[in-house]
Structure 1
């Protein structure tokens, strides 16, 4: 078999660079989605192309030799540039994908309009994020940036500028006597049953967006298990008359039910809506959108 020594094989280089980081054939194979024999085969092919061994292997350890270190120093910057170029091209093809929690989609309307004026050839899409997996789409890179409710205390995420503030409302069945009141207070929740957060809601969000376990005077607030996972499910549960939901003024602008009333609720802080994106490999256009929000 004749080896073209001048040809650069990206698969061989990717195996070499990954092995240089992992120093373990098994982990390299797992990370690249290859079999261990295939990893060894690609490394041997690269070594034949170079003309010398690049990696020293024993039963206990894997290490680059001086020639391997020399190749690594020359190749890694170029390969990193190649990865960044591919990621940027893929991002441009996908456009800017903005995730949102149902009632808060319009909080970004003005910045998105400015963004579209500035980048008319760049597609912008809106993707609804489920309450049962609030940060999953962002972490899986299915979206680039996200409209979220505060607080967010996730070390892998960057908390960006604030978009809006909404006063609190209580969603309650129109047939309930409390629905006729001009306003309700957090103390009144002790006489009701509140729909609680789903088990998959981040703990800081569950603790601060939902009401506490007791009122300021110490009365227990009965809480449901949180089986309602979407806005229509929540409204249907409230309409039956046995449960209420603490929400914000954003909800009735997008979701309604003929048997549900929304009553102002005092004693709880206003809800803050903000932007969040991943700390690793952030989209350049996502950070540009965040910059526009901060300016506006």
Structure 2
């Protein structure tokens, strides 16, 4: 099985249209159709159902789509990590650490400064991403290490160390009647008629349904809350980022949030091991 064939198949399986897939791949449609047919013959499995109504995945095709995506991600990750492992101008390969923008900011700052003080520390490039993107960065090799958060992110296939476990708070506009209360329940927060909870994008990029505003990052969310258009339930550590136009109140029955540092299990980087050691010590 060749990566070229997998790329062809994944493009068709995702587009469910040979014309769009060919355009995406930068080729014409006839050779793409022939390549997929040859691929099916060699595998001995029908991957796509073709009809006048369009293209649909067979059960075998659905399996190969999941496996093929993972295989292509692994190939891309191997290429990126190999290039990054080559010595840089300073003579040392660096590390890329990815974290969700606005999350665990204090912990991230402490880690970067503490690690920089370690003997033989290498440069650490910090990338801040959108909701749920850290996992993809780590899987496809754009990052060597990531901050992930349970129960929101998937840690399947990664090695991890727990860094913190924290409760959650409601973030409300300053002056809201609930801000004088010592604590709240989830029912209090979800029942606010004029302050709906935000809608975050799913990990696959799709948009969730609901009445709340769509948000992409914490700074956008904070602005909406300050304007009286939304409220939110976020980890306790968000207190350090809240300005005077917002207020926080503990939510007693909200699930706890676990912050982990995660990395590929096959990594043998001494620099990465030292970074993880520094993070767990903090």
How does the TM-score come out when normalised to structure 1? 0.57
Q: In 2 relative to 1, CA 95–119 (structure 1 residues): closer, same or farther, beyond 3 Å?
A: farther
1:210-269 residue CA offsets vs partner (Å, 9 max, x unmatched): xxxxxxxxxxxx95455111112101221232421001222131243x432111111113
- Structure 1 CA distance, aligned partners of 2:216 and 2:266? 29
**Is structure 2 residue 198 aligned with structure 1 residue 195?**
yes
Equivalent runs, 1:23-38 vs 2, <5 Å: 27=5
Equivalent runs, 1:11-160 vs 2, <5 Å: 22=1, 27=5, 88-90=85-87, 93-101=92-100, 102-120=102-120, 122-131=122-131, 133-151=133-151, 152-158=153-159, 160=160
> Displacement, 1:88?
3.1
Secondary structure of 1:156's counterpart equals coil
CA RMSD of aligned residues (A): 3.9
- Structure 2 CA distance, aligned partners of 1:230 and 1:138? 19
User: Which residue pairs with 1:45 in the alignment?
Assistant: none
Q: In 2 relative to 1, CA 109–132 (structure 1 residues): closer, same or farther, beyond 3 Å?
A: closer
- Structure 1 CA distance, aligned partners of 2:7 and 2:205? 33
Q: In 2 relative to 1, CA 137–267 (structure 1 residues): closer, same or farther, beyond 3 Å?
A: same
- Structure 1 CA distance, aligned partners of 2:277 and 2:92? 22
**Alpha-carbon contact 1:232-1:255 (below 8 Å) kept:** no
- Give the aligned length: 207
**Alpha-carbon contact 1:198-1:226 (below 8 Å) kept:** no
User: Which residue pairs with 2:245 in the alignment?
Assistant: 259
1:121-175 residue CA offsets vs partner (Å, 9 max, x unmatched): 52123221211523232233222111121134343333x1111222211011224
User: Which residue pairs with 1:290 in the alignment?
Assistant: 276
Gaps of 5+ in 1: 1-21, 31-59, 62-82, 207-221
Secondary structure of 1:291's counterpart equals helix
- Structure 2 CA distance, aligned partners of 1:280 and 1:133? 21
User: Which residue pairs with 1:241 in the alignment?
Assistant: 228
Secondary structure of 2:201's counterpart equals coil
- Structure 2 CA distance, aligned partners of 1:29 and 1:241? 46
Gaps of 5+ in 2: 9-40, 43-79
- Structure 1 CA distance, aligned partners of 2:201 and 2:210? 12
How does the TM-score come out when normalised to structure 2? 0.59
- Structure 1 CA distance, aligned partners of 2:168 and 2:200? 16
1:18-75 residue CA offsets vs partner (Å, 9 max, x unmatched): xxxx5x6965999xxxxxxxxxxxxxxxxxxxxxxxxxxxxx98xxxxxxxxxxxxxx
- Structure 2 CA distance, aligned partners of 1:265 and 1:189? 9
**Alpha-carbon contact 2:198-2:232 (below 8 Å) kept:** yes
